[in-house]
C-alpha cells in the first residue's frame, strides 16, 4: 500500500499517472512562502517535472526565500514580501499578496495549487476556484477563518482533527525526510567561514519573533545560550538570523562577540543541512532546523516556547530532540562537546516520504481521490512509520 492513502476502504490507495501524455497537460502551481519551503519543494518540483507535469513557482521575498531560490536553482516568480510584526499589517499583507497572486496565476490555469501553509495562496485559490493541497507539520499554526484547503497533508503523528473540513492525507516520517536523502556533506565549511577546525561549532537559530505563535520566553533562552557560549573557550557560534531586521538587532547587541569572531553570521545563503551537519550541536527557536538536526542525528536543543506540536513531542520522546524550557536548562541540559560525525549521511534511493507527497499530488491532479473521503488512520497504512 502507498505511504499516503485516503479512502472509504483501506484497499484504496493513491496512484501515480502511467500516461505521460495525459500528465503533460496538467499544471501544478507551487508557492514558496518561507525559507524552509525552498529545500522542501525542490525535490518535489524535480520529480513532478520528471513525470512530465508542468510546474510553475511563486515565491515571497521574505525570510531569505529569494536568496535560497537562487542558491538552490529554483526558478520562481517573486511576488509579495513580509509586512512586519503587527497583526493588522500582517493580515493586510496576506490579502494584498493573495490579490497579486490571483492576477499572476489567472492566465496560468493550474490544475492544482500546492504549498506548505501559505495563507496567501490559500486565499488566492478560493478567488480563482482552484483546488489546493496544503501541507502542514505544526498543527497549532493559525489558519484563515472560514477558508479551508481542498486537501490537507500532515505527518502520520499529527491528529487528523487538525484538518476538519478538508480531505486528509498522511505521509510517513517528517517533512525534512523529503529532502534529506539528497544531502551531501561539504567538509570545507569551516575553512570557507574561517572557523578554527578544533573549535566546537554551535549553530544557533533565533526564534521567529514576528510569527503569531512567538513566545518572548524564547528570546530569554536565546540570550542565556549566547551568554553561556560566548564565554566558553574553543567554541564558535554560527548565528543564523531570520531576516535583515533581526540580524541588525543581533549585530548591535552582540557587536563585541561578532568583532572577535566568537559569533559568526554568514554573509550569504548557505545550505542549512550542511551547516547542521558541520555543527557539534544545534540550538534553535524554530521547528524546521530542530527537525532537520534530529533527522540527521545531530544533537539539537529546542528553545521554541510556543505550543509544542505533535512532531516535536514525538522527537523529544524518542530522545532525538531536547526541549529547553528555562535558563537553568541552558546550563544543565546542553552538552558542549565535539560530536562523532561518522557515518556521514548518504542519499537514499528509496524515499518513502517524498514518494508519499508525490503520489498525493499526482493522484489529486489525475482525479483519483475524493476530498470528501475520510483519512485512514496511520495504523492502517503499512508504510506510515515516522
Q: What are the sequence ranges of the domains in the chain?
A: 20-181+348-380, 189-333
The domain over range 20-181+348-380 is classified in CATH as 1.50.10.10: no
20-181+348-380 shares its CATH topology with 189-333: yes
Comparison of pLDDT for 238 and 244, the residue scoring more: 238
Q: Tell me: the pLDDT tens digits for 84-99?
A: 667 777 788 899 999 9
pTM of the model: 0.80
* 230, 237 Cβ separation under 8 angstroms: yes
* Mean pLDDT (whole number) for 300-313: 94
DSSP summary character for residue 189? H
DSSP 161: G
**pLDDT tens-digit readout, 316-329:** 999 999 999 999 99
The arrangement of secondary structure in 189-333, i.e. its CATH architecture, is: 3-Layer(aba) Sandwich (3.40)
| Mean of all residue pLDDT scores within the chain | 85
Q: Say what the pLDDT of residue 160 is.
A: 64
pLDDT digits 0-9 by tens, 156-201: 999 866 556 789 999 999 999 999 878 888 889 999 999 999 999 9
The predicted pLDDT at position 20 comes to 45
> pLDDT, tens digit, for every residue of 141-157?
777 778 999 999 999 99
Q: Is the pLDDT of residue 14 over 60?
A: no
CA–CA separation, 144 and 248 (whole Å): 31
**Interatomic CA distance for residues 165 and 121, integer angstroms:** 18
Which pLDDT band, with edges at 50, 70 and 90, does 371 fall under? low
Say how many Å lie between the first and final Cα of the chain, rounded. Answer: 16
What are the strands of the beta sheet with 132-135, ordered from one edge? 77-81, 54-61, 27-32, 112-115, 132-135, 151-155, 167-171
| Residue 334 banded pLDDT, cuts 50, 70, 90 | very high
Place of cell 543581533: 250
| pLDDT of amino acid 52 | 95
Residue 281 banded pLDDT, cuts 50, 70, 90? very high
Amino acid at each position: 500500500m502507498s505511504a499516503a492513502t485516503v479512502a472509504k476502504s483501506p484497499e484504496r490507495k493513491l496512484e501515480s499517472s502511467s500516461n505521460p501524455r495525459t500528465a503533460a497537460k496538467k499544471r501544478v502551481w507551487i508557492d514558496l512562502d518561507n525559507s524552509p519551503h525552498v529545500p522542501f519543494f525542490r525535490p518535489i518540483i524535480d520529480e513532478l517535472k520528471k513525470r512530465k507535469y508542468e510546474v510553475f513557482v511563486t515565491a515571497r521575498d521574505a525570510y531569505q526565500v529569494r536568496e535560497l531560490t537562487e542558491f538552490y536553482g529554483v526558478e520562481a516568480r517573486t511576488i509579495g514580501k513580509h509586512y512586519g510584526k503587527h497583526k493588522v499589517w500582517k493580515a493586510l499583507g496576506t490579502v494584498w499578496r493573495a490579490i497579486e497572486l490571483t492576477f499572476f496565476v489567472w492566465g496560468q490555469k493550474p490544475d492544482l495549487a500546492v504549498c506548505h501553509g501559505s495563507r496567501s495562496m490559500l486565499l488566492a485559490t478560493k478567488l480563482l476556484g482552484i483546488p489546493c493541497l496544503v501541507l502542514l507539520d505544526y498543527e497549532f499554526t493559525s489558519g484563515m477563518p472560514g477558508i479551508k484547503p481542498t486537501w490537507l497533508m500532515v505527518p502520520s503523528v499529527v491528529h487528523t482533527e487538525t484538518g476538519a473540513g478538508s480531505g486528509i492525507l498522511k505521509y510517513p516520517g517528517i517533512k525534512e525526510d523529503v529532502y534529506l536523502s539528497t544531502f551531501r556533506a561539504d567538509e570545507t565549511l569551516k575553512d570557507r567561514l574561517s572557523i578554527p577546525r578544533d573549535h566546537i561549532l554551535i549553530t544557533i537559530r533565533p526564534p521567529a519573533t514576528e510569527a503569531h505563535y512567538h513566545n518572548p520566553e524564547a528570546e530569554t533562552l536565546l540570550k542565556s545560550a549566547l551568554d553561556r557560549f560566548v564565554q566558553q573557550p574553543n567554541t564558535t557560534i554560527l548565528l543564523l538570523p531570520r531576516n535583515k531586521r533581526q540580524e541588525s538587532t543581533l549585530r548591535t547587541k552582540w557587536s563585541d562577540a561578532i568583532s572577535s569572531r566568537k559569533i559568526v553570521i554568514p554573509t550569504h545563503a548557505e545550505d542549512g543541512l550542511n551547516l547542521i551537519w558541520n555543527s557539534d550541536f544545534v540550538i534553535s527557536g524554530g521547528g524546521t532546523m530542530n527537525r532537520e538536526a534530529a533527522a540527521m542525528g545531530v544533537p539539537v536543543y529546542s528553545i521554541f516556547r510556543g505550543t509544542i506540536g505533535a512532531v516535536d513531542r514525538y522527537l523529544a520522546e524518542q530522545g532525538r530532540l531536547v526541549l529547553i524550557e528555562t535558563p537553568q536548562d541552558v546550563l544543565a541540559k546542553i552538552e558542549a562537546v565535539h560530536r562523532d560525525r561518522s557515518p556521514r549521511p548518504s542519499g537514499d534511493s528509496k524515499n518513502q516520504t517524498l514518494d508519499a507527497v508525490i503520489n498525493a499530488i499526482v493522484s489529486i491532479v489525475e482525479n483519483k481521490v475524493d476530498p470528501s473521503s475520510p483519512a485512514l488512520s496511520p495504523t492502517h497504512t503499512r508504510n506510515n512509520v515516522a
